[in-house]
Amino acid sequence: GEEVAQTPKHLVRGEGQKAKLYCAPIKGHSYVFWYQQVLKNEFKFLISFQNENVFDETGMPKERFSAKCLPNSPCSLEIQATKLEDSAVYFCASSQRVYSGTDTQYFGPGTRLTVL
C-alpha cells in the first residue's frame, strides 16, 4: 500500500497489562522505525529495522519493550507490564533506504496508548 498502517488506533490498558501495537509499512520499504510521542512533545526514537533485522535499538527500554518485523507479517511493538508513563502516541514510519540520508520517512497515523 501507499500508506503506513497502524493498528489499533486507540489502546487502553490497566497498569501491569501487556500492550501490542502493529505497523504495516509501505510496500517496498525496507526500513521501519518506531517513535514514542508523549503529551504532544518531541518524538523519542525507539527502534529501527532493516527488513526483519534490528538496525538500531539504542532507544528501546529493553526491560519491558520488544519489537519484531517478521516476513509477510505486520511489524509489532510489545510492552510487557505497562506503566503509567508509557501512555503516549506510538508512531511507526517506513522508508526505502536509510543510509542515503535524505530518504523521506513516511509516518503512520499512530496508536494512542492510555495506561490507567
Binding residues for other proteins (CB under 8 A):
4, 31, 33, 35, 40-43, 45, 48, 55-56, 58-59, 91, 93, 95, 98-99, 101-102, 104-110
Q: Rounded to the nearest whole angstrom, what is the least distance from the CB of residue 102 to other proteins in the complex?
A: 5
Quick one: cell of 104? 523521506
Nearer of residues 78 and 103 to other proteins, judged by Cβ: 103
Q: Rounded to the nearest whole angstrom, what is the least distance from the CB of residue 81 to other proteins in the complex?
A: 25
Q: Do 95 and 104 contact (CB within 8 A), yes or no?
A: yes
Which among 99, 94, 101 is positioned nearest to 2, based on CA atoms? 94
Amino acid (1-letter code) at residue 73: S
